[in-house]
Chains A and B, each alone.
Chain A
Amino acid sequence: MKDKLFTRREFLKDSSAAAVGTALYLNLPDALFAAADGKSRVVLIRDENVLDEKNRVRYEVIRDMLDTAVVRLLDAPDAAAAWKKLVRPDDVVGIKTNSWNYLPTPAELERCISERVQGAGVPEKNISIRDRGVLSDPIFKSATALINTRPMRAHHWAGVGTLLKNYILFVPRPSDYHPDSCADLASIWKMPLVKGKTRLNILVMLTPLFHGVGPHNYSPQYVWAYKGLLAGIDPVAVDSVGLRIIQAKRKAFFGDDRPLNPPAKHIALADTRHHLGTADPARIELIKLGWQEDLLI
């Protein structure tokens, strides 16, 4: 079946679509990761003290944020119980991070995740933390479980760098997924190396990049200390929430409704074309914890 193409007129004519905004959609499938009530749960947690005066991450604070988010996400009594729901002692766990020079996954967060996975009984030798090189990493090649984490940032060609996009290094030729502004990134998630293995997605919103310029798509002017993490099982839902925060920040900063350029269509298409999860805010249960100032959502 041919995918539906969208213009602004269709959003204007359809009030429900207009309320959703520029990128989120109609004809929703049942989300793969939806909870019993049909909604995908996403936890947004923020802590005013997670960064020091130089935007360095405070380990103890981010550890507590992660624990609180995972407990609430899974309705577990405590962090240890929550992580035991996510991984088993016999799992081989790949923690897929992002090493982009200007905004990498914080080492402190990588450490927290690894410690919690070990706390659930997985031996350290069965855990690998990597971005580039996952295709040649023996742990990733034999992984039974993946944990996906990266910062959200404006991206040259995908609109935003997302959890969905973070799996592009699981394919030998990432540029194969660039056509149509990375529309089909979600198809990577159906490849045998990753399909069905992702237990947790953590989108780092500590200092997101909301606008990109220049060949490195980076200017410190367009980074702000949001001091948040987004956690969920459904990567499409988590990315969808992150995108709304980025769009809200752009509107606040530029003073007009400046759309991402190019639009982050791969998030919506992960829902409507690839049925990987839900991008529709009406079908996302967003739980907001912690610091509430300038929440933007």
Chain B
Amino acid sequence: MENQQPDVTGLLPAPAGGWQAELPDQFFDRHNLYDYIDGGAELYLSYGFAALANRTYSRPGQPDIILDIFDMGDSRNAFGVFSHARETIDTTFGQGSQYNPGLLLFWKDRYFISLLGSPVTNESQKFMFALAREIEKSIPQTGELPALLSLLPQQSLVKESVKFFHHYIWLNTYHFIADHNLLHINEKTDAVLAKYADGAGRALLLLLNYRDAQTADSARTDFIREYLPEYSGNGAVQLEDSTWADCRQRGSLLIIVLNASGAGITGGLIREVRQKAEAPQNQQILK
């Protein structure tokens, strides 16, 4: 329930083990996030960012450890912002985590957490992990994943490649598609992008769930006009670079396959998504 979720300020762990919080804590909301991550705020705002608490932990001879706890307002958006950094599947912390030396990112419930301490030392890494464990324990519940993920075919899915977003700019994450909002994506659109790979076979699957079927239809029309003008509606189109693409609509859902190595993988992905969308447990996803 909403009132069981801790306030973001209450999640900042107390300093311990010789580490001090010498700098004042900082707190930001939607109106002043730019003051903290100028130029980077848009990513978080596009995911419905609500609040941020920041604390810096210092200890002589060690790098400062900067802790940022983002309240994204909703677990689906916390997952979404985390999905941008994810390169591997790792659940060491929270509901998913990513550790590169000196940088730990994880998410749990509606919170996205970043711990940065560079250049890393054994001591700083140990303390960083202890902080993460304490924060994780302070968040009592887990959060739901975006429902649209349940439409992804599982066979050959590159699990760590899955991204969830509401802003068109992230369309180009794996494959440059367009420099403008070709698919009419906005904050009311749930978008999932995922890679598939199976031996030499590969494809990029894009699922877009719009606020209604009319919006989906409009996006589909523009996409076909600009990107697949030769599309007849009867199967995948082979492009100039020998890859295949297809686009299908079912109600509010657009299913787009790009950069596919063959017509077979393209058709297979579309077929399976449509079957999943028709399953009784998933019918509430479409509008």
Binding site for B on A (CB under 8 A): 5-9, 11-13, 22, 102, 155-158, 174-175, 178, 181-182, 213-222, 256-259, 261-263, 265
From DSSP, what is the main secondary structure of chain A's interface residues? Answer: loop
Q: Does B264 sit within 8 A of A, measured CB to CB?
A: no
Q: Does B37 sit within 8 A of A, measured CB to CB?
A: yes
Chain B residues in 8 Å Cβ range of A219: 100, 102-103, 118
Cα(A219)–Cα(B102), bound, Å: 7
Cα(A152)–Cα(B116), bound, Å: 21
CB contact between A216 and one of B66, B170, B177, B228 (< 8 Å): that residue: B66
Cα(A105)–Cα(B198), bound, Å: 44
Cα(A177)–Cα(B144), bound, Å: 35
Contacts A213-B100, A216-B68, A261-B172 known; 15 new A-B pairs at CB < 8 A: A155-B39, A156-B40, A156-B43, A157-B43, A158-B39, A174-B39, A214-B85, A216-B114, A218-B116, A220-B101, A221-B101, A259-B174, A259-B175, A262-B169, A263-B172
Binding site for A on B (CB under 8 A): 34, 36-40, 42-44, 66, 68, 70, 84-85, 98, 100-103, 105, 114, 116, 118-120, 169-170, 172-180, 182, 226-228, 239-241
> Do A213 and B103 touch across chains, with their CB atoms under 8 A apart?
yes
Minimum CB–CB distance from A232 to chain B (whole Å) comes to: 24
Chain B residues in 8 Å Cβ range of A261: 169-170, 172-173
> Do A156 and B39 touch across chains, with their CB atoms under 8 A apart?
yes
Chain A residues in 8 Å Cβ range of B182: 7
Chain B residues in 8 Å Cβ range of A263: 172, 176, 179
Whether A12 touches B42, Cβ cut-off 8 Å, given contacts A213-B105, A214-B105, A219-B103, is no
Cα(A8)–Cα(B100), bound, Å: 32
Cα(A216)–Cα(B182), bound, Å: 29
Minimum CB–CB distance from A153 to chain B (whole Å) comes to: 11
CB contact between B176 and one of A8, A155, A156, A221 (< 8 Å): that residue: A8
Minimum CB–CB distance from B69 to chain A (whole Å) comes to: 10
Chain B residues in 8 Å Cβ range of A215: 36-37, 40, 44, 68, 70, 114
> Do A181 and B103 touch across chains, with their CB atoms under 8 A apart?
no
The list of the 7 closest CB pairs from A to B, nearest first, reads A156-B40, A213-B85, A12-B240, A221-B100, A7-B178, A262-B169, A219-B103
Minimum CB–CB distance from B132 to chain A (whole Å) comes to: 13
> Do B114 and A214 touch across chains, with their CB atoms under 8 A apart?
yes
- B40 — nearest CB in chain A belongs to which residue? A156
Chain B residues in 8 Å Cβ range of A258: 174
CB contact between A214 and one of B34, B103, B176, B227 (< 8 Å): that residue: B103
Chain B residues in 8 Å Cβ range of A157: 39-40, 42-43
Minimum CB–CB distance from B135 to chain A (whole Å) comes to: 15
- B177 — nearest CB in chain A belongs to which residue? A8
Cα(A263)–Cα(B172), bound, Å: 7
Chain A residues in 8 Å Cβ range of B70: 215
Minimum CB–CB distance from A206 to chain B (whole Å) comes to: 16
> Do A22 and B66 touch across chains, with their CB atoms under 8 A apart?
no
Whether A12 touches B241, Cβ cut-off 8 Å, given contacts A175-B38, A215-B37, is yes
Minimum CB–CB distance from B72 to chain A (whole Å) comes to: 12
> Do A217 and B176 touch across chains, with their CB atoms under 8 A apart?
no
7 contacts between A and B (CB under 8 A): A9-B226, A182-B39, A213-B98, A216-B114, A217-B40, A259-B176, A263-B172
CB contact between B42 and one of A9, A178, A213 (< 8 Å): that residue: A178
Chain B residues in 8 Å Cβ range of A102: 118
Cα(A263)–Cα(B177), bound, Å: 10
Cα(A214)–Cα(B118), bound, Å: 13
> Do A259 and B172 touch across chains, with their CB atoms under 8 A apart?
yes
> Do A175 and B177 touch across chains, with their CB atoms under 8 A apart?
no
> Do A12 and B239 touch across chains, with their CB atoms under 8 A apart?
yes
> Do B177 and A156 touch across chains, with their CB atoms under 8 A apart?
no
Whether A213 touches B84, Cβ cut-off 8 Å, given contacts A263-B179, A265-B179, is yes
Chain B residues in 8 Å Cβ range of A22: 176
> Do A156 and B227 touch across chains, with their CB atoms under 8 A apart?
no
Minimum CB–CB distance from B32 to chain A (whole Å) comes to: 11
> Do B180 and A5 touch across chains, with their CB atoms under 8 A apart?
yes
Minimum CB–CB distance from A158 to chain B (whole Å) comes to: 7
Minimum CB–CB distance from B199 to chain A (whole Å) comes to: 15
Minimum CB–CB distance from B104 to chain A (whole Å) comes to: 9
Chain A residues in 8 Å Cβ range of B239: 9, 12
Chain B residues in 8 Å Cβ range of A262: 169-170, 172
Chain B residues in 8 Å Cβ range of A175: 34, 38
Minimum CB–CB distance from A52 to chain B (whole Å) comes to: 14
Cα(A283)–Cα(B208), bound, Å: 40
Whether A178 touches B39, Cβ cut-off 8 Å, given contacts A214-B85, A258-B174, is yes
Chain A residues in 8 Å Cβ range of B119: 220
